[in-house]
Amino acid sequence: MKTRTKQKVGIQHQLDQLANYMAVVNDVAIELEIACGWYHDSSPQYGGPPSADQLKNHAARLRESYGGMATVTGVDPCEKLPSI
What local confidence, expressed as pLDDT, does residue 11 receive?
Answer: 86
Largest Cα separation within the chain, whole Å, is 65
pLDDT, tens only, 14-42: 999 999 999 999 999 999 998 888 888 77
User: Quick one: which of 70, 48, 47, 51 has its CA closest to 59?
Assistant: 51
CB contact at 8 A, 49 and 38? yes
pLDDT tier, 52 (very low <50, low <70, confident <90, very high otherwise):
very high
pLDDT tier, 84 (very low <50, low <70, confident <90, very high otherwise):
very low
What local confidence, expressed as pLDDT, does residue 50 receive?
Answer: 87
> In angstroms, rounded to a whole number, what is the distance separating the alpha carbons of residues 9 and 6?
5
User: Quick one: which of 25, 11, 16, 13 has its CA closest to 64?
Assistant: 25
What local confidence, expressed as pLDDT, does residue 7 receive?
Answer: 61
What local confidence, expressed as pLDDT, does residue 43 receive?
Answer: 73
